[in-house]
Structure 1
Amino acid sequence: MGENENLGNIENVSGTSGTTGNEHGSGSGVHVYCRVRPPNEAEKTHGNGLLCVNVRSEQCIEISSSESKSDSETKERTFYLDHIFPMDTNQSYVYKTAAKPIVDQLFKGINGTVLAYGQTSSGKTFTMEGIIGDNEKMGVIPRMVHDVFETISNAEEHIEFQLKVSICEVYMERIRDLLDTSGTKSNLRIHEDKIHGIYVKDLSEYFVTSPEEVFELMALGHKHRAVASTNMNSYSSRSHLIFMLQLQQKNVFDSSIKVGKLFLVDLAGSEKISKTGAEGLTLDEAKTINKSLSCLGNVINALTDNTKNFIPYRDSKLTRILQNSLGGNSLTALIVTCSPSIVNESETIGTLRFGIRAKMVKNAPKVNQQYSVEQLQVLLNSAQRKLAERNNYIQTLEELVKKLGGELPENKPSGDKGGSIILNSSLNIGERKELQEGIIPGSEKTTLNMRTLDNDELDELEEAKQQLKENSEKITQLKQEISEKENNLKLMSEEKENLNIKLSDLIQELSQTKYQQQDQAETVEHLQLKNKSLIGELEQSQIHIHDLEARIEEYKSEESQRRNEEKENESNKAFQSLSSEIQQLREYLLAIRSNTDPKEDAAWSSEHKALLETIEDNVARIANLELQLKESNKGAKKLDINDQDTKSMLERMSQLDTNMEQLGKLYQKMVEQNSNLKSQSQLNERRLLRKEERIEQLERSLINAKTKYTKLLMQCNSLTKTIENISKLKPIFAKLAPPNIVKGIQGGGGKSSLVKA
């Protein structure tokens, strides 16, 4: 396929607001290309290296499956697009085939758009941007920038150019200016007027004069773009990136201006939560991305459905910005990127179906040119000259119609000097020829013909007139019946169309409900997985707490036993010491008693008192020792409380108790959310069932309508055959002259005979 063949014939006619880009008015369709990237390491591991993509030709791709499929299912898995790029396609070939033809038309004043669509981690950003500065791995945007400046450098000297660049992203349904360093332009609004069309208000615009300046702006934009890491992509885009370039050309000789806008869009990838493992903010971003892409799909479905009169561009910021690119004033190329792995088979099929649907969208590209005063004056003079020639031609036709006995309307439409011409329906081609030959009431030839008619001929003429009148009445009656049948048929067709519209709306609503249900099911699945994980953590925490409690009890029992043994040992030692002292005193006392004489009683008595005092002192000492032992026990208890290991264990135990309580609350909350989601899912299922019943009812009504339509069609065919049979009788009626047709007399040897004049 040639580069220029992708774009069709674009012709610049006239006008300051632009002219259509297709000669026949059918518009230019969206060109859809498919790029298949090589499998990555994760796909090789999880998918065992199995591939589901088979590139049959440059325009045909087939999705195979491990299961055996019927012929009809195989056809549903075969897709025909404008061009298929296999896994070994380089960046340069992708750009030259898909994007360069649109860039070339930019210099003719025609708007262009290149979009990249596909699941997450399918190669969209690599296709659109690649690696700037690497001649082999550069993507569409940097190659386009180089081509634009190269074309400008080779242009004629009397053409002046202006280039403006803007970069924004649609993140969480907010438009953010990626070139704004202040950080205040994070929620810009979309406006529309007759001068600018649809545009983002207050979006930064930078004039550029070299590719390097553009690449610096792109680097600045990348610093501000929202990205995150998921299970499928470590550098996943969380927003739709829109790179806008406006090219203005001014001819210094005639002051004419051409303006072309180029939109290069790197869409965020559609995500399946069960595969990406998104949670928290990343999960919210994924939901917003999927919703935005769903709105894009709804717009494309509405554009390709002839029964739809309303296009939901305003359902999302993305579709509103791209309104001209989808069904508007733009040449559009869509590059769908696919994973070849069997793991992503369903996502690849969904992406290709999106591309097939988008291929049916028709755009109306125009040349955006502003003419100078001199050019407008030349166009005005040409139009006035053509109008004068047309009026003269109409006047000549009116005079000819009057001569032929035709009628002209009394009230002529304004702006149309000639008006419309109404001819007498009773004049056939032969009769008009007779009129042209001079059979006009009042002429000499007509008077002679009237005089030669005899009575028999007049009776015959009257009879034919009566028969013709009856046949005319029958034909009129049949025409009325046909008209009634046609009206009924028209009503049935309108009813059928209304039913088709309702059915299409219900199917679309059913699709949205299924998508919401799928989203809720994925959310429930994610919450269940998280719930299981929390339950596992809770069980592990409980086991750990039980282990700590057992260790603490064991430590307490060992410590108590040790202290009791120490106390018992100290008491035994003190008791043994006192017992030995008392025993020594007793032995000493007995020895004294046995060895003393009466003379020494007084000395012994005094010594006995001293011993008693010593015993009393020892008893007091024992009491003091007992008090000291009690105080030591109290100190030991205080030391036990202040023990660092025990204290840390108590704190850990308290913290674990708190965590256990929080986990219990969280588990209860998860159970409640799961219950709510289950009830909501049941409610959605009931709604879905009601909608399916309604669809079945409408389908039955549609079948009945088709049956009625078939019956009416058969009746119409019968009436048509009747009319054809009547038409076959026209040669017979043609032999009978109508009342306003005059027959001439041809002389011949004294005998007169009637002949057709």
Structure 2
Amino acid sequence: MTSNIKVMVRFRPLNNSEINSNKNLCVHFVDNTTVLLKDNSTPFIFDHIFASHSTQSEVFDKAAKNVVEDILAGYNGTVFAYGQTSSGKSFTMFGSNIEDYNYRGVIPRVLENVFTYMEYAPVSLEFSVKFSFIEIYLEKIRDLLDIEKTNLSVHENSEKGVYIKDATELYVSSVSEVMALIKKGLANRKSSPTRMNISSSRSHSVLLITVSQKDAEQGSTKVGRLSLVDLAGSEKVSKSEAQGLSLEEVKAINKSLSTLGLVIYHLTDDKSVHVPYRDSKLTRILQESLGGNARTTILITCSPSIDNACETSSSLRFGSRAKKIRNTAKVNKLLTKFELTKLLVSAKEEIRILQRELESLKAACGAERPSSPRSSERDFLELTGEGALSERLSNTLEDSVENYKAKTVELNKRVEELCCYKTSADEKVEGLCITVQKLLERDKPPKTILSASKKYIEKLKRKHLLEIKALEEEHSKALCKLNRENQDLRAKVEWQQDTIYSLESENSKLLEQLFHESCKDGALRHIEETFEKLVCEKERIELVASELRCQLEESRGELNSKVEFTKRLLMQRREVGKTIRKLTRVIEKLVEQNAQLKFYHFVAEKRLVQKVSRITNLEKRLVGLGQQRIREELEYKLLASRHSKVLESGHSSQGLADETREQKIAKIIRGAGRLVEESVPSSPSQFWSKKNFI
């Protein structure tokens, strides 16, 4: 099944230093599949984009959950993280704490899902899981489960594909065993602090898992291989300030990542003929994952800070190019005895078909062979025409030989498959022995169970030995028969080739005779015409050469003037560059001063607002106190006027006797109210403008 590589991008949050320095973001998220760089209008489209607030569980569900299903279905799968240093690759793949469910990464979750599936699988399925953990440090493969193995080599065969020779492979039966091995491997992995990261990985880690499942009812076996890769991050020496051994590590990391990018470029370029997988240990191990038999998911990790905009742009371009790679994944299924027997029968049938074709070819050659090739001119023309016997014989023989070679290659492949079946049977027996030993060490069963298990193992061994012997006998018989037929066919082909060679030699002699007879009359005339043409051509060439010399002299003068002009431009460019650098420094200083002035302006505005609010409160209080003072004085004057009028009322005339005391008091109160309204200010400014304020 052919499909494109899945590419997903994850952006980490801003760190403390980026937050404190008020750094802006360099990306804009259009949706969950499209992202834009602020200085570039071209969108980058991927299968999924995780923003900085995404969780570990969301990343696993989108990126790696389907890979687990593919592995358990018998496919090869790969998940690897790519990005600059300190962009969150190790956090995404392993997590900050593999024991904490919220913070564990893709790798612990993948392994947990594999064993969960095995627990709930049908009873007829038998599983075995192999685990290995290696790293690529300074272009050397180190075994993280056995630190004494420091320089392993990469090999390839038809059964395993690309594999690491002598790497430690352990059978595991639970999640706890795998977690313990991961902790051990991470403790042995090379890491060191840098200017950009407290604990930076200095090597590429590769975790390999092989899941074999056998159906006891049908007898079929599937093998899924999973590669989980945490790449070291690319980094600039100007930012990391690496020195000594750290500098050598940076060189090795950047070289292997450059080779990875070159491999992806050749895989996506239609004109490329050769893909340089062998230029690096990393690309050699990932050969099946990139354009081969695997389903691959790439996690691109990026920084959203404007300081890392260049590295983020490079990582996004890498991901968009890798998304064009197409892999052809197929189920890794081991053939049963019945299927192998069926293939052997079909191979025998093909051999019989080839024999019949060879006999028919022999009969045709015997019937159409000419009796005398020199008999007449008409016979000669028939022999040298389009339907000549020699050409027909040679073409037919070449086709039959090519078909025979192709069938032989297919038969050899099937023989290799039989050998692979034999080795897989041996591995199954060894696996059963190891499982029984583990059970003995863990549970310590009684002697009856031990004897029964031994008898079962011996029975399986005898069964496999009988099957292997039968297959070997069939294989040896088929090989003997094939060798005999091959020898017969070679003898017949040699005889036919001798016949063809003799016919070709006779045809060449007759052609030479005809050529000499036909060319005697017109040879001299042809030579004269040719000589005249050559003389005319010589004169034309001399004219063209003189014109070219003149043009060459003119072009030399123009070239010299252009060289001088280019030198002047270079001098001006250097001066402009110096001026630009000076202006850049001045602009940086002005930007810093502007930032300081903005800060001071913000503080002054804040203080001014506080003082204005305080003055406003004080004005309100003063207005209230003034109004209260005026009311008290007016009340005092009102009472005094009332008192004086009461005293005068007793000595007044009888014309005012009809006014009652209450009416007088009401008038006095109304007049006092108007006086208060006229004298009390309506605003603080009116209050301060009063000249008669006491």
- Aligned equivalent of 2:18: 43
Deviation string, structure 1 residues 557-612 (Cα, Å, up to 9, x no partner): xxxxxxxxxxxxxxxxxxxxxxxxxxxxxxxxxxxxxxxxxxxxxxxxxxxxxxxx
CA distance in 2, matches of 1:275, 1:107: 43
- Aligned equivalent of 1:330: 294
Question: Does residue 252 of structure 1 match 2:216?
Answer: yes
CA distance in 2, matches of 1:105, 1:357: 24
CA distance in 2, matches of 1:193, 1:115: 24
Question: Does residue 154 of structure 1 match 2:120?
Answer: yes
- Aligned equivalent of 1:144: 110
Q: Which SS does the other structure have where 2:133 is aligned?
A: strand
Q: Which SS does the other structure have where 1:74 is aligned?
A: coil
Residue 102 of structure 1 and its aligned partner are, at CA, apart by: 1.1
CA contact (8 A) 1:270 1:290 kept: yes
CA distance in 1, matches of 2:121, 2:278: 40
Go from structure 1 to structure 2 and tell me whether the alpha carbon gap of 1:386 and 1:288 turns closer, same or farther (over 3 Å shift): closer
Structure 2 counterpart of 1:81, which letter?
F
- Aligned equivalent of 2:79: 114
Residue 388 of structure 1 and its aligned partner are, at CA, apart by: 12
CA distance in 1, matches of 2:69, 2:44: 28
Q: Which SS does the other structure have where 1:243 is aligned?
A: strand
Deviation string, structure 1 residues 533-562 (Cα, Å, up to 9, x no partner): xxxxxxxxxxxxxxxxxxxxxxxxxxxxxx
Please give the residue correspondences for 1:665-704 in structure 2 after superposition, counting only pairs within 5 Å: none
Structure 1 counterpart of 2:23, which letter?
G
Structure 2 counterpart of 1:179, which letter?
L
- Aligned equivalent of 1:294: 258
CA distance in 2, matches of 1:383, 1:174: 44
Please give the residue correspondences for 1:603-642 in structure 2 after superposition, counting only pairs within 5 Å: none
Q: Which SS does the other structure have where 2:207 is aligned?
A: strand
- Aligned equivalent of 2:99: 133
CA contact (8 A) 1:167 1:242 kept: yes
Structure 2 counterpart of 1:157, which letter?
V
Please give the residue correspondences for 1:221-236 in structure 2 after superposition, counting only pairs within 5 Å: 221-236=185-200
CA contact (8 A) 1:34 1:335 kept: yes
Residue 253 of structure 1 and its aligned partner are, at CA, apart by: 2.6
Q: Which SS does the other structure have where 1:367 is aligned?
A: coil
Question: Does residue 30 of structure 1 match 2:15?
Answer: no
CA distance in 1, matches of 2:51, 2:347: 52
Go from structure 1 to structure 2 and tell me whether the alpha carbon gap of 1:384 and 1:90 turns closer, same or farther (over 3 Å shift): farther
CA contact (8 A) 1:254 1:372 kept: no
CA distance in 2, matches of 1:371, 1:187: 35
- Aligned equivalent of 2:63: 98
Deviation string, structure 1 residues 67-98 (Cα, Å, up to 9, x no partner): xxxxxx412xx201111111111111111111
Q: Which SS does the other structure have where 2:149 is aligned?
A: coil
- Aligned equivalent of 2:227: 263
Structure 1 counterpart of 2:154, which letter?
I
- Aligned equivalent of 1:311: 275
Q: Normalising to structure 1: TM-score of the pair? A: 0.46
- Aligned equivalent of 1:371: 335
Q: Which SS does the other structure have where 2:80 is aligned?
A: strand
Question: Does residue 89 of structure 1 match 2:50?
Answer: no
How many percent identity over aligned positions?
47
CA distance in 1, matches of 2:136, 2:169: 17
Q: Normalising to structure 2: TM-score of the pair? A: 0.50
CA contact (8 A) 1:257 1:370 kept: yes
Given candidates 171, 176, 183, the residue that maps to 2:137 is: 171
Q: Which SS does the other structure have where 1:231 is aligned?
A: coil
Go from structure 1 to structure 2 and tell me whether the alpha carbon gap of 1:383 and 1:175 turns closer, same or farther (over 3 Å shift): closer
Structure 2 counterpart of 1:121, which letter?
S
Q: Which SS does the other structure have where 2:322 is aligned?
A: helix
Gapped regions of structure 1 (runs ≥ 5)? 1-21, 66-72, 390-406, 417-757
CA distance in 2, matches of 1:37, 1:103: 25
Q: Which SS does the other structure have where 1:320 is aligned?
A: helix
CA distance in 1, matches of 2:85, 2:316: 15
Question: Does residue 74 of structure 1 match 2:41?
Answer: yes
Question: Does residue 355 of structure 1 match 2:355?
Answer: no
Structure 2 counterpart of 1:287, which letter?
K
CA distance in 2, matches of 1:246, 1:217: 15
Residue 195 of structure 1 and its aligned partner are, at CA, apart by: 2.6
Q: Which SS does the other structure have where 2:225 is aligned?
A: strand
CA distance in 2, matches of 1:97, 1:126: 16
Deviates more, 1:250-259 or 1:139-148: 250-259
Deviation string, structure 1 residues 384-433 (Cα, Å, up to 9, x no partner): 999999xxxxxxxxxxxxxxxxx9x99596599xxxxxxxxxxxxxxxxx
CA distance in 2, matches of 1:379, 1:282: 56
CA distance in 1, matches of 2:325, 2:218: 37
Aligned-residue CA RMSD (Å): 2.7
CA distance in 2, matches of 1:349, 1:160: 47
Structure 1 counterpart of 2:200, which letter?
S
- Aligned equivalent of 1:623: none
- Aligned equivalent of 1:63: 37
Q: Which SS does the other structure have where 2:253 is aligned?
A: helix
Given candidates 241, 256, 266, the residue that maps to 1:277 is: 241
CA distance in 2, matches of 1:297, 1:271: 15
Deviation string, structure 1 residues 100-142 (Cα, Å, up to 9, x no partner): 1111010111000001000000010111011212111111101
CA distance in 2, matches of 1:194, 1:355: 31
Q: Which SS does the other structure have where 1:245 is aligned?
A: strand
Residue 45 of structure 1 and its aligned partner are, at CA, apart by: 3.2
Question: Does residue 52 of structure 1 match 2:26?
Answer: yes
Please give the residue correspondences for 1:291-690 in structure 2 after superposition, counting only pairs within 5 Å: 291-377=255-341, 411=396, 414=400
Residue 382 of structure 1 and its aligned partner are, at CA, apart by: 8.7
Gapped regions of structure 2 (runs ≥ 5)? 354-386, 404-694
Question: Does residue 195 of structure 1 match 2:159?
Answer: yes
CA distance in 2, matches of 1:385, 1:150: 46
Deviation string, structure 1 residues 18-77 (Cα, Å, up to 9, x no partner): xxxx2xxxx22111000011111122234x231011111121011114xxxxxxx412xx
CA distance in 2, matches of 1:240, 1:54: 31
Residue 194 of structure 1 and its aligned partner are, at CA, apart by: 2.3
CA contact (8 A) 1:37 1:339 kept: yes
Question: Quick check: which has more Rg, 1 or 2?
Answer: 1
Structure 1 counterpart of 2:117, which letter?
T
Structure 1 counterpart of 2:209, which letter?
L
CA distance in 1, matches of 2:222, 2:44: 38
CA distance in 2, matches of 1:96, 1:385: 50
Residue 306 of structure 1 and its aligned partner are, at CA, apart by: 1.2
Go from structure 1 to structure 2 and tell me whether the alpha carbon gap of 1:200 and 1:61 turns closer, same or farther (over 3 Å shift): same
Deviates more, 1:214-223 or 1:127-136: 127-136
Q: Which SS does the other structure have where 2:312 is aligned?
A: helix
- Aligned equivalent of 2:486: none
CA contact (8 A) 1:110 1:260 kept: yes
Residue 169 of structure 1 and its aligned partner are, at CA, apart by: 0.4
CA contact (8 A) 1:331 1:363 kept: yes
CA distance in 2, matches of 1:143, 1:220: 18
CA distance in 2, matches of 1:347, 1:142: 28
Go from structure 1 to structure 2 and tell me whether the alpha carbon gap of 1:345 and 1:224 turns closer, same or farther (over 3 Å shift): same
- Aligned equivalent of 1:596: none
Structure 1 counterpart of 2:264, which letter?
I
- Aligned equivalent of 2:547: none
CA contact (8 A) 1:58 1:83 kept: yes
CA distance in 2, matches of 1:199, 1:86: 36
Q: Which SS does the other structure have where 1:260 is aligned?
A: strand
